């Protein structure tokens, strides 16, 4: 009992979590970075708009109305109506839910798998390391959109399949970064010290190595969420993933291209939604990188 407690104390000492003043300084850097604050604001706003889409949407996103075919924006339908007379604005709001769910879930999946792969590879070394990292190299050698496309073509349509396909694409970049960070961290003195006082492999990885790369991982999560949303939009633009009539930004643009000349609002507005969302997460990622990695700050 006592031994366990003292081991815990040592862990607390050896772990280098940011102190209060360090945290304060990070916050100041972040707030001082206007682009990052704009990114955070946009991301929060878009998330809220999507969560409350059922309350905010003025129309049923699926309700068809033959008389309102391809009507341009007016007071009632602020962003116009599509080829089935459906309200474009309501559809954009609902589509945001799909994009954000896919973005976060696939990053969660790919990030967890990738982080574990990188951690284990970097920590264990040897044959396992070269096997895992070689697999990562091969997966990263192929254009992610093409890989996602093929995987989805084989898996078939469905929300969980899109998440699986994009998650698969996202794990290699996480594995690569975490692998690199693990390699340098495991040689650090505080890790040797923890090992010297008897910490096991799992304990070392979980309490000493992983917490010290949270910064890198947070940046990756933000940047790759942006990427995941972009890839999802491309896939549904191609016609894969979520089946109609469920609106996604990508399939709205796809349907809109047939009427590009006489009803440009069908594709221009959903595209704007994609652009703003991806931009928000990219801005946030850039800002976080400045905060969490002062070496890169410029």
Partner 1 sequence: MIRYVAQRILLTIPVFLSVLTIVFLVVRVLPGDPATAALGDYASKDAVDALRERLGLNDPLPLQYVRFLADVLRGDLGTSMINSAPIGDQIAHNLPYTLELTLAALLVGVTLGIPVGVYMATERNRLPDIVGRVASLVGLSVPAFYLGLLLILLVGVQLKWLPAIGGGDLTEVGDSLTHLILPALTLGLVMTASVARLARSAMLNVLTQDYVRTARAKGIRERSVISRHALRSALIPIVALTGIWGVALIGDSVTTELVFSRPGLGKLMVGAMLQRDYTTLQSTMVIYALFVVGINLVTDLAYGFVDPRIKAKG
Minimum distance between the CB of residue 134 and partner 1, rounded to whole angstroms? 8
d(CA 142, CA 136): 10
Minimum distance between the CB of residue 65 and partner 1, rounded to whole angstroms? 26
d(CA 84, CA 66): 6
Site mask for partner 1 (CB under 8 A), range 67-106, x = bound: ----------------------------------------
Tell me which stretch binds partner 1 (CB under 8 A): 22-30, 118-126, 197-205, 269-277.
269-277
Site mask for partner 1 (CB under 8 A), range 151-190, x = bound: x-xxxx----------------------------------
Q: CB neighbours (10 Å) of residue 270?
A: 28
- Reported in sequence order, the residue ranges of the chain that DSSP labels E, i.e. its strands, are none
Q: Does 234 bind partner 1 (CB under 8 A)?
A: yes
Minimum distance between the CB of residue 60 and partner 1, rounded to whole angstroms? 26
Q: Judged by CB under 8 A, how many residues of this single chain contact partner 1?
A: 42
Tell me which stretch binds partner 1 (CB under 8 A): 66-74, 125-133, 180-188, 261-269.
261-269
Tokens of 243: 């089946």
Q: Which residues of 108-145 are buried (b: 16+ CB within 10 A; e: fewer)?
A: ebbbebbbbbbbbbbbeeeeebeebbeebeebeeeebe
Whether the CA torsion 112, 117, 118, 124 is positive or negative: it is positive
d(CA 175, CA 270): 33
Site mask for partner 1 (CB under 8 A), range 4-43, x = bound: -------------------------------x--------
């Amino acid at each position: 009992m006592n031994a366990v407690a003292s081991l815990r104390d040592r862990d607390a000492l050896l772990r280098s979590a940011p102190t209060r003043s360090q945290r304060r300084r990070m916050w100041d850097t972040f707030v001082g970075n206007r682009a990052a604050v704009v990114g955070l604001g946009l991301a929060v706003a878009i998330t809220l708009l999507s969560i409350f889409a059922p309350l905010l949407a003025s129309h049923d996103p699926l309700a068809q109305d033959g008389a309102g075919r391809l009507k341009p924006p007016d007071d009632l339908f602020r962003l116009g109506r599509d080829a089935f007379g459906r309200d474009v604005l309501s559809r954009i709001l609902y589509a945001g839910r799909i994009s954000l769910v896919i973005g976060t879930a696939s990053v969660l999946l790919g990030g967890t798998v990738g982080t574990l792969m990188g951690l284990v590879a970097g920590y264990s070394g040897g044959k396992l390391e070269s096997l895992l990292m070689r697999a990562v190299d091969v997966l990263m050698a192929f254009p992610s959109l093409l890989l996602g496309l093929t995987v989805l073509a084989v898996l078939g349509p469905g929300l969980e399949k899109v998440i699986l396909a994009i998650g698969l694409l996202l794990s290699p970049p996480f594995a690569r970064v975490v692998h690199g960070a693990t390699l340098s961290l495991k040689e650090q003195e505080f890790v040797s010290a923890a090992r010297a006082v008897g910490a096991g492999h799992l304990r070392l990885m979980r309490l000493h190595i992983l917490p010290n790369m949270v910064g890198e991982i947070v940046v990756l999560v933000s940047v790759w969420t942006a990427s995941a949303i972009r890839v999802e939009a491309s896939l549904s633009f191609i016609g894969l993933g979520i089946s109609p009539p469920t609106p996604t930004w990508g399939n709205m643009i796809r349907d809109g291209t047939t009427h590009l000349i006489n009803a440009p609002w069908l594709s221009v507005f959903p595209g704007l939604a994609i652009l703003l969302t991806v931009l928000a997460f990219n801005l946030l990622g850039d800002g976080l990188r400045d905060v969490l990695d002062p070496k890169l700050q410029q």
